[in-house]
């Protein structure tokens, strides 16, 4: 009988204290891993918002610049509304209306949205520039925003770009 007691005492095992330390270490490791994972996800969301906003803004400027360069004249001009005379007919760029935050291009009488539903145009300002002995130019300043609300808060991507385009010389 004393042999059996001696066998049980000599078997290796964990004490309660060792198990508690082990559980605490695992809990700390999981907490750190979770926090890092959440930070990576949030950084990815912020990056995607910024990227989408920049892509939309660049696309708009490229489209407007191309149409201005190929236009022979300006038919109508306002700081946030321009109609150009092109070989294929009039092309109009405008904000959707009072309080609208979507930019449209109208070609052949059909309006098309230039931005995604997530991206809002917060500023569109066009300025006529007429240098001496040069074709008429338009300076375009555009600001776009994109917002996403998540559990951790609201993230905003904002892009402001400016360019100048000249009408073709005839």
CA dist list (Å): 75 to 28, 85, 148: 68, 6, 38
Task: Give the whole-angstrom CA distance, residue 140 versus residue 21.
Answer: 64
Structure tokens at 92: 């109009």
Task: Give the whole-angstrom CA distance, residue 91 versus residue 158.
Answer: 27
Average pLDDT over residues 32-48: 90
Q: Which of 4-8, 46-50, 112-116 has the lowest mean pLDDT?
A: 4-8
Q: Over 70: is that where the pLDDT of 102 sits?
A: yes
DSSP assigned state of 106:
E
Average pLDDT over residues 103-113: 91
Q: Over 90: is that where the pLDDT of 142 sits?
A: yes
Which among 165, 135, 169 has a CA at the least distance from the CA of 68? 165
Q: Which pLDDT does position 104 carry in this prediction?
A: 92
Average pLDDT over residues 24-45: 92
Average pLDDT over residues 128-156: 84
Of the pLDDT bands very low, low, confident and very high (cuts 50, 70, 90), residue 6 is: low
Q: Which pLDDT does position 56 carry in this prediction?
A: 92
Average pLDDT over residues 131-145: 89
Share of the chain above pLDDT 70, in %: 89
Q: Over 60: is that where the pLDDT of 47 sits?
A: yes
Task: Give the whole-angstrom CA distance, residue 115 versus residue 63.
Answer: 12
Q: Over 70: is that where the pLDDT of 138 sits?
A: yes
Q: Which pLDDT does position 4 carry in this prediction?
A: 57
Average pLDDT over residues 117-146: 89
Task: Give the whole-angstrom CA distance, residue 75 versus residue 107.
Answer: 14
Contact 157, 49 (CB under 8 A): yes
Structure tokens at 68: 């201005």
Residues forming beta bridges with residue 89, ordered by sequence position: 86
CB-count burial class (<10 Å; 0-12, 13-18, 19+) for 77: middle
Q: Over 70: is that where the pLDDT of 7 sits?
A: no
Angle at 94 between CA 89 and CA 99, to 5 degrees: 155
- The mean pLDDT of the chain is 87
Contact 146, 49 (CB under 8 A): yes
């Amino acid at each position: 009988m004393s042999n059996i007691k001696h066998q049980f005492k000599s078997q290796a095992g964990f004490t309660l204290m060792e198990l508690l330390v082990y559980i605490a270490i695992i809990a700390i490791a999981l907490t750190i891993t979770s926090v890092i994972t959440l930070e990576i996800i949030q950084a990815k969301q912020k990056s995607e918002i910024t990227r989408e906003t920049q892509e939309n803004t660049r696309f708009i400027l490229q489209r407007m610049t191309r149409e201005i360069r190929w236009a022979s004249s300006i038919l109508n001009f306002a700081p946030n509304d321009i109609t150009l005379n092109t070989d294929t007919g009039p092309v109009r760029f405008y904000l959707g209306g009072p309080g609208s935050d979507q930019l449209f291009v109208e070609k052949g009488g059909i309006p098309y949205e230039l931005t995604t539903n997530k991206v809002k145009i917060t500023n569109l300002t066009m300025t006529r520039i007429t240098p001496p002995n040069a074709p008429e130019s338009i300076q375009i300043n555009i600001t776009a925003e994109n917002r996403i609300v998540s559990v951790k808060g609201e993230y905003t991507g904002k892009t402001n770009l400016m360019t100048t385009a000249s009408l073709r010389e005839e």
